[in-house]
Structure 1
């Protein structure tokens, strides 16, 4: 395909750049020499393009996709609890059948230019990259709260903003939540962000609830967007050999499919700030050691799910953990972004801002943390 394109391009160049000649006007050998020279120049240009565009991208909603609300918290029909006594059935194979993956599914690379696109300029400032974010759903005063938070990015567990209003310049990152929302890839592709997050907690029945093979079969649909892809975000056991994420990452590699960075969730049951931050750090390091990929921590907070109904720390304890954890995250070079769960206090006892836009103790602490890294 590339050779045919360059053959047609060579003919076009000859027609555009070489005047029509006849043997009586100019020696035929001279004409042939010009044509050969132009062809050689075209081939040199192709080689240069391939060299400078060969690097893979660096890893720095649909309204129906439910926000990630933990078990025991108040939930609406659009916000299902993460952990339930019964598991929801996964969509049938007939609903999610896709063509086998091939290299032709990957969009051709776009030539790099010096000028930054709006999405690129929004994620950097003074040579640093966007770092601090929030997970959120539509609530009153969302733009006011997000501005106070000083977050530079957010997501909604879906492919569009789902009614969330944000200040100008705050980046929205889309997600394909589960198999049933795979049709949202077209919507996700239109998002300005160059990133796309994979399935939400496929290892939990109340969330994406997907077998590894199903996730692998659907992954080419995400690849087709041309975006920098974050792995499915497992709820637990991200560093465990033979766990859901481990099997997915090995499967993607064996099929030649890209996963540019790993996304993770973490909730701590130890309400002491520094020990909890250390436990989180150790988990992140173990995941990074196993996959050697950049990491986005897209949900985290202190919540104890080990005793049935969730147990929460005091507001002061939550704020202390947030400070300790974000300080640690800033030091871990492989951590590229994080998002606190969650920005609103509605349906989340770990929230940062109340419906009137006022901050909780955790929200006050969050607002002072560095936005860029």
Structure 2
């Protein structure tokens, strides 16, 4: 998902930074599953939130780790779209010891990476050539037509995808969510990274409050998070904590306006 924020300029800047600075991979030990995505522009207190969540890994939708580097938490780079799909970026990531990279962000969404399947397949060898473990494009619908066509193209061309990245924004039905994750794993027969998920009410707005209260979201998390920890095919997951003013997701945020954890954030930190 990731809310609109002049992505092209940010990604072009990231490309320059990663090619000229010593990117630090982060923790040397293999991290646990729990992660978090933190968009830097809307989270100037990103470091406080990262440490407060007690995350094992994090990402920023960009290719370079933010400064100051948090060496205790693994940073996972992302090649967000065609503007950051640069061989030099991938080369530097490999040289600096990054062993995993996330693929395109929501290429099936008009206001995100927005790529045709053909263009994504054309660019994919650039990501593959790095030799770094490679996550699939993270689609709005990992079980939708775009992803299905892309993965069939990958198979036909003999390309490499090492794990499936997926997003999920739905109601608080625990069984439906867990069943969907399992179905995607079974269909593609690959490990799963859930790189964005939370409870969402897409009809919520200023005039119509979110149907899912914070307590309902808490109950969802209390059941779902331990299940994700137990399932071997789920390698990693990252709860999406949107800006608190964004109505469809505002009852799923992990942090108060001052960056301190709310009760959802406290639960997430305890996992």
- TM-score band by shorter chain is 0.7 to 0.9
- Counting matched residue pairs gives 245
Question: CA 1:76 to 1:157, structure 2 compared with 1: closer, same or farther past 3 Å?
Answer: closer
Query: Shift of residue 142 of structure 1?
Result: 2.1
Question: CA 1:322 to 1:268, structure 2 compared with 1: closer, same or farther past 3 Å?
Answer: same
SS for the counterpart of 1:246 is helix
Pick one of 49, 52, 75 that aligns with 1:145: 49
Query: Shift of residue 169 of structure 1?
Result: 1.8
Query: Shift of residue 157 of structure 1?
Result: 1.0
SS for the counterpart of 1:232 is coil
Question: CA 1:311 to 1:209, structure 2 compared with 1: closer, same or farther past 3 Å?
Answer: farther
- 1:363 corresponds to: 265
Q: Does 1:132 align with 2:34?
A: yes
Query: Shift of residue 345 of structure 1?
Result: 4.2
With normalisation by structure 2, the TM-score equals 0.81
Q: Does 1:219 align with 2:124?
A: yes
Q: Does 1:199 align with 2:134?
A: no
Query: Shift of residue 290 of structure 1?
Result: 0.9
Contact 2:136 2:163 in 1 (8 A): yes
Query: Shift of residue 315 of structure 1?
Result: 1.9
Pick one of 103, 113, 138 that aligns with 1:233: 138
Alpha-carbon distance between aligned partners in 1 of 2:190 and 2:53, rounded to the nearest angstrom: 28
**Unpaired runs of at least 5, structure 1:** 1-66, 70-74, 80-117
1:137-179, Cα deviation, whole Å (9 max, x unpaired):
2223322221121101111111123x46553221111111112
Alpha-carbon distance between aligned partners in 1 of 2:257 and 2:204, rounded to the nearest angstrom: 28
Pick one of 61, 73, 78 that aligns with 1:170: 73
SS for the counterpart of 2:256 is coil
Question: CA 1:232 to 1:278, structure 2 compared with 1: closer, same or farther past 3 Å?
Answer: same
Contact 2:91 2:130 in 1 (8 A): yes
Contact 1:189 1:227 in 2 (8 A): no
Alpha-carbon distance between aligned partners in 1 of 2:193 and 2:85, rounded to the nearest angstrom: 22
Question: CA 1:194 to 1:249, structure 2 compared with 1: closer, same or farther past 3 Å?
Answer: same
- 1:68 corresponds to: 2
- 2:186 corresponds to: 289
- 2:228 corresponds to: 329
Pick one of 237, 250, 253 that aligns with 2:152: 250
1:226-269, Cα deviation, whole Å (9 max, x unpaired):
11000001111x235xx111111110111111000000000112
- 2:177 corresponds to: 280
Between 1:346-355 and 1:205-214, the stretch displaced more is 346-355
- 1:122 corresponds to: 28
| Structure-to-structure mapping, 1:307-318, within 5 angstroms | 307=203, 311=210, 313-318=212-217
SS for the counterpart of 2:198 is strand
Coordinate RMSD, CA, aligned:
2.5
SS for the counterpart of 1:351 is coil
Contact 1:175 1:188 in 2 (8 A): no
Contact 2:25 2:75 in 1 (8 A): no
- 1:320 corresponds to: 219
SS for the counterpart of 1:234 is coil
Query: Shift of residue 326 of structure 1?
Result: 0.8
Alpha-carbon distance between aligned partners in 1 of 2:116 and 2:212, rounded to the nearest angstrom: 34
